[in-house]
Amino acid sequence: MQNRASIKNSIDSSAKPEALREINFPPSFLWGAAISSYQTEGANYNSDWCAFEKEKKIQEAALAANHYKLFLQDFKLAKELNLGAVRLSFEWARISPNPDVYLEEEIGHYKEVIQTLKALGLKPFVTLHHFTNPVWFSESCGFESSKNIDFFLKYLKKIVEEFKDDINNWLIFNEPLVYVYNGYICGRWPPGVKSIGTARKVLRNITSAYIDGYKEIKSIYRESDTDSYVSLVNHIRKFSPCPNFNFGQNSVSSYIKDKLSNFDIINYLTKKSCLDYLALNYYCKEYVKFKGLVGAECVHQFHKERKNYLGWYIYPKGLYELLKRLKKYNLPVYVMENGTAEAEDYLYKEYLVSHLKCVAEAISEGVDIKGYFWWSLIDNFEWDYGFGPKFGLIDINYNTFERRIKPFAYTYAKICKENKIEL
Ligand code: BGC
């Protein structure tokens, strides 16, 4: 990679602070921001999340950020911020409100979305499943039943065939482990199940849907002139043993958590040759205390890392450490989500710059990182936390749906434009 040496030099010069001015990124580095359909579009009334909000009486996404109607404005702002790519998802429940129905007008809507991105010079990365399902799919047991995998594959085939000329980058699932953990182990998300046995079944079915979906996409593109790049987005965290209790046992739990939730799925899918690149989301560090082998989160007031608005431990070095461990896979890497929710603008800026320095450092040490996506482009519905946490580069006034670029986003815009970070 041409710029590796220059990045390395700028980082090496950190020993002499007066000489350290900037870190350059590789020339083709892709700068982006991510969103998901349910969290931003609004009026996704056929989705299982919508039914769950009503049933559990939690805050409703309702019109969310009204992105369904205001996507043009949002993408123009993304362009103004010098982004080169946007990651978004298609809402399966919107497109297919019944198992045998694919609404042409909704497919048409997403065509307009993709054409708008492309006209603005923004590369689309599309996620097919970002935590939500059509109600009919959930009601027939969703991914709990292996028989239902075919419903998902039918949707995947339909969409990929429709969009193959305009989209190259497909992310079949977002964070399967997060989905399974929240929906089937702790039951905070739909369908609100708490059963390890069911969770294992769902994960097995999602993994198999992924593998079949990967093959299906490859066969669709085989007959077309375009290339396809297919992956699954995996959430990675820095796990550390909780220092204050039983350190020995905590270390074992932390090691196992890291192995299972950070790398297991990547190991499995790379062995099957089903990942064209690694797509990773990194936010924070988690302290682990022993509670059975897999361990539990340890929240302790004496940890020295800063916490964000949601109480997550901010630890940029964790991103560097985890990225370094990806080198052995010999695959291109995208940071598909990285971001924070804060109460003060300067904290976003601190988070952004400190994490980007870690990305640059990992590149300088040979990790083939192709792009970085901030989560998220606009403020949005943060699942069971509702509208409180604000991750966006762009602020949303939920009464008027007015958009406003946040001050820290201009720092990101400058970095994107210059392809370097000034120190
Ligand atoms: C998810 C997003 C979510 C973000 C912040 C990611 O794990 O993909 O949907 O909003 O984390 O919690």
Closest ligand 1 atom to 376 CA: 10
The protein residue whose alpha carbon is closest to atom 5 in ligand 1 is 382
From 337, 340, 380, the mutation candidate for ligand 1 (largest count of ligand atoms within 8 A of CB) is: 337
Query: What's residue 5's pLDDT?
Result: 43
pLDDT of residue 133: 98
Catalytic residue list contains 337? yes
Residue 94 CA to ligand 1 center (angstroms) comes to 20
* Cα 330 to ligand 1 centre (Å): 26
Q: Which residue's structure tokens are 């995998």?
A: 149
**Ligand 1: which atom is nearest the Cα of residue 178?**
7
Nearest partner of 110 among 8, 185, 41, 30, judged by Cα: 41
What pLDDT is recorded for position 14? 40
Q: What CA–CA distance (Å, rounded) separates 373 from 349?
A: 15
- Residues touching ligand 1 (Cβ under 6 Å) are 36, 39, 174-175, 178, 235, 281, 337, 375, 382
Candidate of 178, 180, 351, 375 to mutate for ligand 1, largest count of ligand atoms within 8 Å of Cβ: 375
* pTM higher than 0.85: yes
Q: What is the pLDDT of residue 12?
A: 39
User: Which segments within 188-303 are labelled E, that is strand?
Assistant: 229-241, 278-289, 296-297
* Residue identifier of the C-alpha nearest atom 12 of ligand 1: 382
Compute the distance from residue 387 Cα to the ligand 1 centre, in Å: 13
Nearest CA to 210 among 239, 165, 166, 180? 180
Give the distance (Å) from ligand 1 centre to CA of residue 57: 21
- Rounded CA-CA distance 296/290 in Å is 6
Of the listed 91, 162, 337, 350, which one is catalytic? 337
Radius of gyration of the chain (CA): 21
- Burial, 21: exposed, middle or buried (Cβ in 10 Å; 0-12, 13-18, 19+)? exposed
Residue nearest to atom 10 of ligand 1 (CA): 382
Neighbouring CB atoms inside 10 A of 136's CB total 17
pLDDT of residue 17: 46
Name residues of the chain where pLDDT drops below 70: 1-20, 245, 293-294, 300-303, 423
What separation in Å is there between the alpha carbon of 108 and the centre of ligand 1? 27
